[in-house]
Chain A
Amino acid sequence: MFLALRELRRAPWRFGLLAAAVGLLVYLVLFMQAILGSLIGAITGAIEHVDADVLVYSDTARGQLDASVLDPALVAEVSGSDGVAAAAPWSVQTYSAKAAADDLVDVAVFGHDLSGPGAPSTLAAGQRPSGPDQAIASAADAGDGFDVGDRVVIEPAGREIEVVGVAENLNYSVQPTLFVDLETFDALAAERTAGARFVPINAVAVTVDDGMAATEVVARLADSLGGVEVLTRDDAVAGIPGIDAIEQSFALILGLAFAVIGLVTGIFFLILTVQKRQPLTLLRAIGASPRDVVVPLLLQVLLLTGGGVLIGVALLALSAGAVPGELGIELQPGLVAATGTGTVALGLLAALAAVRRVLRIDPAAALDTNATGVSP
C-alpha cells in the first residue's frame, strides 16, 4: 500500500492523465447507456410495464403491434384455454391531441380492460380509470400536460380525456401515451373513421394461472389457435422493430469504448513496469517477495480505474440536465454500478501483462553492471 501510494503521489500528472482518460471513456459509456435506456424505454415502456404474461398478435403482424389485427371474438377463445387466468382485448392507435400547449401532439392511445390483463402494472400517482374518458398517462409526460387532473383533447372529434393516474415508463414509440378503457377506445375509433363495421383489436393480453410457466401457455395457445403469433411479454418487447438495430449499434460503440479502456490501462502499466525494472530488481534483491511487488501494482490499477469510474459518474451527474430534445437521460444505479465494476475488472485484467513482467524480474540481475556506454 505504502509503495503504491507513494509512487502515485510522486507522479500525480502521469497517473492523473490515465485516470482522466479512463474517466472520460467511462463517462461516454455511462452516457450512452443512459440514452439507450431511455430510448428503448420510450419505445417499449408501454408493453413492458403492463399486467400481461403473454400477448397474442395476428401472425401477419410479424411482431408489430400496430400491424396486428384480430377478431374480438378471439378473446373468449383464449379465455377458455388451459392455463389462462384471464384474457382481455388490447389495442393501440395514434391520435392527434392537444395537451397543455395549444399545439397538436401525437399521442398513443391504448384501449384496455380496466380490470383485466393489459392494464399498467403499478401506478406512481393518482388512481385507475373508473369509467370512460379517463386515462392513465406516462410519468415522463406529466410535465407536458399529462399529469393527474390534466385534460387532453383528442382531435379532430374533440373528445376530452381526463388524466386520473400516472405510471412510470409507460411510453410507446417515443410518444406520450394514454391508457383508456375499451369503451372510450371504440368511441375514438368510431369518431375517426365513421361507419366502421366493427373495431378490430390489435392483440389479446393474457395473464396465466398461478404456477404456470408463461412459455408453456404460449405453446398451448399457439397449438390450439390458428392465424396467431403468441409471445411472452419479453419476446414481444424484444421483437419490436428497430430495437434490434438500436441495441446492436450501441453494443458496437460500447464494445469499442471498453476496448480502448482496457488497451490504454494495460499498456500504461506495462510501460511503467518496464521503466521501473531497475528499482524493482533492487527491491527483489534486498528481499521483497514477488507478492510484495505485485500487490502495489494491482492496488494502483484498482485506485486508478476506480478513480476513473468516479470521474465518469461525476461527469454523468453533471450533464444529466444538458441533453436536448426527445431524449432524457435515465440514471439507473444498478447499471452504473455494473459498468463501474466491469471497468475496474477490465483494468485488472489488462494489467496482467504488467504483472507477468514484474514476476519475470530476476533479483540476481541487480548485480549486473550495465556499462554499455549507450545513453538510455
Chain B
Amino acid sequence: MRLALRELRRMPGRFFAVGTALMVIAVLVLVLGAILDGLIRGSTGVLRAQAGPLLVYDDEARQTLLRSRVDADLAEQVADVDGVADVRGLGVTNVTVDPPGETTAEDGLLGLVVVGAEGENRRLTPPGRGEAIADARILDEGFEVGDVVTLPGDVQVEIVATVRDATTNLAPSVWVDLDTWREVTVAVRPDAGLGEGVVQALNVVVEDGRDPLEVAAAIDEATGSTQTLDQEAAVAAIPGVSSQQTVFAAIIAATLVVAALVVALFFVLLTLERSGLYAVLKAIGASTGGLLGGLVVQAVVVAAGAAVGAALLTFGLLAVLPDAIPVELRAGRVAVALTGLLLMSALGSVFSLRRLVKVDPAEAIG
C-alpha cells in the first residue's frame, strides 16, 4: 500500500496519461449530468414548488397543465372532500415579450412562461395585482427588479422580486396572481376557454396526518371528472421528463464503463512496464494480492485527482457556455458521478490481475 502511494508521489509522470484521459471522461459525465439537470429542473420547477402534495387535473387532460381545465365549481367540490385542507389554483402559459431597452428588428423576442398561482408555496408567495415575481434568469436578459414588463394583452406588471428553480418549459417564469394570468392567457390563446375562476389545475394541501394518496382517490371519486396525482407522478408525467432521464442515465452509465475500460487499458500497460519491478518484489516476498491492492489504490487516487480536475474544468466550461444550452451543476449529482468514476477505476485496475499473476519471480534472477 505504502509502496504504491510512494510510487505515485515519486513518479507521477507515469500516471499522467490515464489521469488526463479520466479527467476528460469525467468532464463528459459531468456535462451530461448538468444538461440533464438543466432540462429536468427547467421543466419541473413549477410543480416542485407547489406547497401541497397533490395536483388535480381534469381527467381528459392526459396529466398535463396545458390541456387541463378546472372551473370554480369543480374547485369547490374538491375543497369539500374529506382530508382536503386547502385548494389553490394554478395555471401556466407561454408568452413572448419584447426585451427591455431599444428593440430593433434584429432582436429576438424573449420567451417567458407566465405562472398564475395563489397561496404561499415552497419558493414564494404570489404577488398581488400589477406585480410579479420573476425567475432570476430574467436579470440576465436585461431586466431589473423594479422594471415593468408588458405582457400580452397589454398587461403590465412590476417585477418586485426574483426566484430560483420555479419554472417550467425551459423558459424564465413570471409568477402573477390568477386574475392577471387569465388576462394574459386570453390575449395569447383566445380559444383557451378561460372564464372567470377557471384554472388549469389545482394544488391541494392535505390535512395533517392524512395519507395524500387516499385523499387523491377520494377527490377523484367525489368529482368523477378529475385525475389527481401526487407531485412525483405529476412531474414524471411532464412530456419528455422520463424519457430524458432514461436516455441520459444510459449514456452516463455507458461513459462510466468507458472509464473502467480506459483504466483497465492503461494499468495493463503500466503493469507491463513494471513487470521487472514486480518480479523483484515477488522474489523478495510480495504477494500477488498485495501488489493488486497497490494497483487499486493507485487507480483510485489517480481517479480522485482526475475527478477534482474535472469538477473544476466543468465548472469553468459551464460558465462560458452559450445561454441556449440548459445546464445546472448540482452537488448531489456531481458527487454520485464522481463516486461512480472512482468505483469504475478501481474495477478497471483489477483487470491487471492476470498480468500480475503471470509475473514470475524467478525472472529477477539472471
Q: Which residues of A contact B251 (CB under 8 A)?
A: 28, 31-32
B322 near A62 with CB under 8 A, answer no
User: Is residue A187 contacting chain B, with contact meaning CB distance below 8 A?
Assistant: no
Q: Which residues of B contact A210 (CB under 8 A)?
A: none
Tell me the bound Cα distance from A255 to B194 in angstroms: 47
Tell me the bound Cα distance from A275 to B191 in angstroms: 73
Chain B positions 228-250 with a Cβ under 8 Å from a chain A Cβ: 239-240, 242-243, 246-247
Residue of A at shortest CB range from B109?
Answer: A62
Tell me the bound Cα distance from A326 to B24 in angstroms: 31
Tell me the bound Cα distance from A270 to B18 in angstroms: 12
User: Is residue B9 contacting chain A, with contact meaning CB distance below 8 A?
Assistant: no
Residue of B at shortest CB range from A14?
Answer: B268
Interface size class of B (residues with CB under 8 A): 35 or more
Instruction: Mark contacts of A136-158 with chain B using CB atoms, 8 A cut-off: 1 yes-contact digit, 0 otherwise.
Output: 00000000000000000000000
Tell me the bound Cα distance from A24 to B111 in angstroms: 38
Instruction: Mark contacts of A265-297 with chain B using CB atoms, 8 A cut-off: 1 yes-contact digit, 0 otherwise.
Output: 001101110010000000000000000000000
User: Is residue B31 contacting chain A, with contact meaning CB distance below 8 A?
Assistant: yes
Tell me the bound Cα distance from A252 to B20 in angstroms: 19
User: Is residue B155 contacting chain A, with contact meaning CB distance below 8 A?
Assistant: no
User: Is residue A241 contacting chain B, with contact meaning CB distance below 8 A?
Assistant: yes
Contact among B21, B242, B325 with A252 in the assembled complex (CB-CB below 8 Å):
B325
Contact among B60, B62, B277 with A375 in the assembled complex (CB-CB below 8 Å):
B277
A14 near B269 with CB under 8 A, answer yes
Total contacts A-B at CB 8 Å: 121
Contact among A192, A259, A268, A275 with B24 in the assembled complex (CB-CB below 8 Å):
A259
A376 near B247 with CB under 8 A, answer no
Q: Which residues of B contact A21 (CB under 8 A)?
A: 258, 261-262, 265
Interface size class of A (residues with CB under 8 A): 35 or more
Q: Which residues of A contact B20 (CB under 8 A)?
A: 263, 267
B21 near A260 with CB under 8 A, answer yes
Tell me, rounded to whole Å, the shortest Cβ–Cβ distance linking B236 to chain A.
Answer: 11
User: Is residue A219 contacting chain B, with contact meaning CB distance below 8 A?
Assistant: no
What are 22 A-B residue pairs whose CB atoms fall within 8 Å in the complex? A13-B268, A14-B268, A17-B351, A21-B262, A24-B258, A25-B258, A106-B67, A244-B324, A248-B322, A249-B325, A252-B325, A253-B28, A256-B24, A260-B28, A264-B265, A267-B21, A271-B273, A275-B269, A275-B273, A325-B246, A326-B243, A375-B280
Q: B residues within 8 Å of A by Cβ?
A: 17-18, 20-21, 24-25, 27-28, 31-32, 35, 60, 62, 67, 96, 105, 108-109, 111, 170, 190-191, 239-240, 242-243, 246-247, 251, 254-255, 257-258, 261-262, 264-266, 268-269, 272-277, 280, 321-322, 324-326, 351, 354
